Each structure stands twice: as structure tokens, then as C-alpha cells.
Amino acid sequence: MYSCMWILVEGKDDKRLANAILRPIVERQYDYVDIWEYAQETPKKTADFLRSINCMGADYLFFGDINASPCVTAKKEAIRSKYHCMVQSPNTVVVVKEIESWYAAGMDDHACQELGIASLFCTDHLTKEQFREMMPKRFKGFVVDFMVEILKRFSLETARQKNRSFCYLMNVLEKSREV
């Protein structure tokens, strides 16, 4: 049976990470994998897209940053409400705090040393602004270049240890492989 997986992400930084890190993992279990950016779309168009995914019987993961939500459950409920109940909780992954925290989580001590930044123990509360502040001077004004360099050195195991929401995602992906 032909199997499809859609990964719905907010924007370009999320898509870059999903393509480099998540796609190779997910492609092992699906015949077709695609990544779709929803932030620039209307909620109705995104809900319609999710409806079509559900009608096809395809799988999906929907990513959203926690932003100002008080907790993961509240964020999942806000996403569900915004997209007309088309997003199911088990398919929703809340990025804590923002996607930059996942980028930073993937840097082991060696990668940090190579890039010229201090090692981080935990990135659960790292914001976009803090991420930009930690960038070495040679990358100032070139955030995308910095992100690309991180992805070249990205360690899944380190990211699991440094960020709880990334670890949660890896656990979800592992469980889906067992089915």
C-alpha cells in the first residue's frame, strides 16, 4: 500500500530543519514525504489542505511554536481551534520554545567549538532573539548561513538530550515505525 506523510511547518527556517533532519528519518517509512509551509496561508486554506490529507488517508505532522501559550496542551487546543478542528492532537508537535531552540539543541560540544559559541546544556527556553545573540560575529546578518552550518553538524542524540520537545518528536517518530 502506498503511504504518504505531510509535514506542516510554519515557515522557511522550520522547513529547512525538517528537510535536513526529519525528512531522511520519515522517508524510511513512507513512499512519499512532503513539507508544506502554512504560515503564509489563510487558516481556511490550511484547514482545507488538512481535510484533503485526511480524506486521502495520509499521515501528517503539524508543527507549531509554543510562543506565548501557557503550556503545550493550550497551544494544541489553539491550533485545533484555528484550523476548524482538522488538526488532531497526536499529530501536533509543539516546538518549545521556537524552532531556533531545535537548531541550537543539535549542536554538541564539538560543533559549538567549531562554530565558536559556548556549549548549551538545555535549549527548552531559547528564543529567536537569544539564538541571534549567540551567533558568532562572522554570521551577524546571515542567520540562514548560521542555521545551515548548524545543520551540517547536527546531532540527533544531542538534540534529544538538550530539548524536550525535540525528544518528544523523536519518540513520536519511533512509535510510528513500530506500528
Look at the chain and report how many structural domains it folds into. 2
**72-84 CB burial, b ≥16 within 10 A, e <16:** beebbebbbeebe
Q: Is the pLDDT assigned to residue 177 strictly greater than 60?
A: no
Predicted model pTM: 0.91
Q: Is the pLDDT assigned to residue 44 strictly greater than 80?
A: yes
pLDDT digit string, tens, across residues 17-35: 999 999 999 999 999 999 9
Residues 62 and 120: their CA atoms lie apart, in Å, by 27
Q: Is the pLDDT assigned to residue 156 strictly greater than 60?
A: yes
- As to burial, measured by CB atoms within 10 angstroms (0-12 exposed, 13-18 middle, 19+ buried), residue 167 is middle
- Answer yes or no: do 39 and 82 share one domain: yes
Indicate the residue among 95, 112, 139 that finishes a domain. Answer: 95
119 within a domain of the structure (yes/no): yes
Indicate the residue among 77, 95, 113 that finishes a domain. Answer: 95
Residues 140 and 121: their CA atoms lie apart, in Å, by 23
Q: Average pLDDT of 105-132?
A: 95
What is the predicted pLDDT for the residue at 179? 43
Q: Average pLDDT of 88-111?
A: 93
Q: Average pLDDT of 65-73?
A: 90
- Answer yes or no: do 130 and 65 share one domain: no
Strands 4-9 and 59-65: parallel
Q: Average pLDDT of 97-108?
A: 96
* Confidence band, pLDDT 50/70/90 cuts, at residue 100: very high
167 within a domain of the structure (yes/no): no
Residue 116 near residue 136 (C-beta atoms within 8 A): yes
177 within a domain of the structure (yes/no): no
484550523: which residue's cell? 83
Residue 154 near residue 21 (C-beta atoms within 8 A): yes
What is the predicted pLDDT for the residue at 178? 55
State what percent of residues in the chain have pLDDT above 90: 82
Quickly count: other Cβ atoms within 10 Å of residue 90's Cβ. Answer: 10
Among 80-84, 146-150, 162-166, the minimum mean pLDDT is found in 80-84
Q: Which domain holds residue 117?
A: 100-156
3-state secondary structure 39-104: CCCCHHHHHHHHHHHHHHCCEEEEEEECCCCCCHHHHHHHHHHHCCCCCCHHHEEEECCCHHHHHH
541571534: which residue's cell? 132
